[in-house]
Structure 1
Amino acid sequence: MSIDLRNAVAVVTGAGSGIGRAAAHAFARRGARVVVTDLVDERAQTVADEVGERAVPAACDVTSLDDLEAVRKLALDRFGRIDLVMNNVGILAVGPVEDIPLEAWQRVVDVNLLGVVRSNLVFLPHLLEQGSGHIVNTASTAGLLPYGFDRLPYTATKHAVVGLSEALALYLRPRGIGVSCLCPAGVATNIVEQIAFYGKPAPPRGPNFPVMDADSVGELVAEGVTHDHFLILTAPEAAEELREHGADVDAYLSRLTKDAP
């Protein structure tokens, strides 16, 4: 199910900065043509200009089916096909769970989870008809492990994206379509712009994973797609945490509780 990125066509949401921008560059360096989308049109244009003639920009709000359908039309009109879709948009609501209002939960779910659902509705029929392609969903190590209670709406949606991605892999791989789930730990990006804060910040609890630069993450994504890897981690240490968590969830939660400040 690995795809050859040479002359492939990639659609990347949230590509105006951070991991999305880095992935767009990494795909293009391997020969892909890239549709660079972002909520902010100017950011999409800037990254497309950086990539060069192999890229085209598009403004896209992942809470809008119409926007995603317009991106699909642009990709097909300009490049004739779509081979890779990277669902990368994410926002956070941070604070004690009792202080985060329902509307904040609804906004995070609408963007982080339903944004992926809308993308599937728009792009999957094309990939299925084509019989080939690849999907990358950006989740988080907070979607693999239980430490993100200080950003619980984000954590809940990223756990959902991990589960959705695993199930999609079972469904799509027999149909010729690969699925990868990117679970970054600390990454130096401007995601702070997408954080809403509520109440007194709760101290985070959990593993202290190293911070990676976005360009290195972009390379990991491109390599993961090329080699059809499902789980793409930016911190290898997360694999050991996953093993400990899977071996005995009660013991793992007890350790984190005992380690609380």
Structure 2
Amino acid sequence: MSIDLHNAVAVITGAGSGIGRATAHAFARRGARVVVTDLVGERAHSVADELGSRGVATVCDVTSLDDLQAVRDLALDHFGRIDLVMNNVGILAVGPVEDIPFHAWQRVVDVNLLSVVRSNLVFLPVLLEQGAGHVVNTASTAGLLPYGFDRLPYTATKHAVVGLSEALALYLRPRGIGVSCLCPAGVATNIVEQIAFYGEPAPPRGPDFPVLDADSVGELVADGVTQNRFLILTAQEAADELRERGRDVDAYLSRLTKDVP
């Protein structure tokens, strides 16, 4: 069921910068052809130009089903097939939960979670028909662990993406389609551009996970896809946290809250 990236066709949303751009390059280095999409057309075209003949670019707003259908059609028209889809767009609303307005919740849910739902509706029929392919959903360690109370809409949607991905793997793997869930910790990207701030900032709580550069994360994604791994972590320390949480969630939460005034 593992996918050979050589001459595979990958569609990546949010590929104009950060993890998406780095993964596009990592896939291309392994011989893949990449449909680079981004909300900002200049960024998408710049990355496609970097990839040369292995890249093609288009603008895509992941809150638009029509845009995603246009991406699918471009991939099929330009490269003749689709083998891999990476859902990689995310935004944040940051602040005390009581200060984050409902419309901010709606926006984060629409971009972070419902974009994956739209992508499934558009791309899964193609992969299911050919009986092969791979899906990568970008979540976060904030979708595995409870530290992100200062960005609760992001945390909630990333937990949802993890759960969606895990259940999707049970459905798709018997049909020849792999599923990976990328859960990065700190990564040096421009995601700050996608943050809306509300109220007084709360001091973040959480482990001091290492911060990786985006290129290293792109390599981790490419390796994870070729090895057909479900969970792709950028900080192996997160696995230790998961094990502690799994042994006794009440004790785990008690440890995290004991120093809160």
Q: TM over 0.5: same fold?
A: yes
Percent identity reads 87
Structure 1 residue identity aligned to 2:29: R
2:144 — aligned with what? 144
How far apart, in 2, do the equivalents of 1:109 and 1:159 lie? 11
Matched, 1:32 2:7: no
How far apart, in 2, do the equivalents of 1:253 and 1:176 lie? 38
How far apart, in 2, do the equivalents of 1:146 and 1:164 lie? 18
- State the 4+ residue runs in structure 1 displaced beyond 3 angstroms: none
- Number of matched pairs: 261
1:154 — aligned with what? 154
Secondary structure (helix, strand or coil) at the match of 2:3 reads coil
- The answer as to whether partners of 1:205 and 1:260 remain within 8 angstroms in 2 is no
**Aligned Cα root-mean-square deviation (Å):** 0.7
Q: Where do 5+ consecutive residues of structure 1 fail to align?
A: none
1:60-79 pair list within 5 angstroms: 60-79=60-79
Secondary structure (helix, strand or coil) at the match of 2:232 reads strand
- The answer as to whether partners of 1:183 and 1:234 remain within 8 angstroms in 2 is yes
Secondary structure (helix, strand or coil) at the match of 1:53 reads helix
Structure 2 residue identity aligned to 1:174: P
Cα deviation, 1:5-24, whole Å, max 9, x if unaligned, reads: 00000000000000000000
2:212 — aligned with what? 212
- The answer as to whether partners of 1:150 and 1:204 remain within 8 angstroms in 2 is yes
1:243 — aligned with what? 243
Secondary structure (helix, strand or coil) at the match of 1:216 reads helix
Cα deviation, 1:74-115, whole Å, max 9, x if unaligned, reads: 000000100000000000000000000000000000000000
Cα deviation, 1:100-131, whole Å, max 9, x if unaligned, reads: 00000000000000000000000000000010
How far apart, in 1, do the equivalents of 2:243 and 2:201 lie? 29
How far apart, in 2, do the equivalents of 1:209 and 1:8 lie? 33
Per the normalisation by structure 2, the TM-score is 0.99
2:189 — aligned with what? 189
1:131 — aligned with what? 131
How far apart, in 2, do the equivalents of 1:210 and 1:201 lie? 22
Q: Where do 5+ consecutive residues of structure 2 fail to align?
A: none
1:230 — aligned with what? 230
1:7 — aligned with what? 7
Structure 1 residue identity aligned to 2:173: R
Secondary structure (helix, strand or coil) at the match of 2:240 reads helix
Secondary structure (helix, strand or coil) at the match of 2:53 reads coil
Instruction: Give the deviation of 1:260 after TM superposition.
Output: 3.6
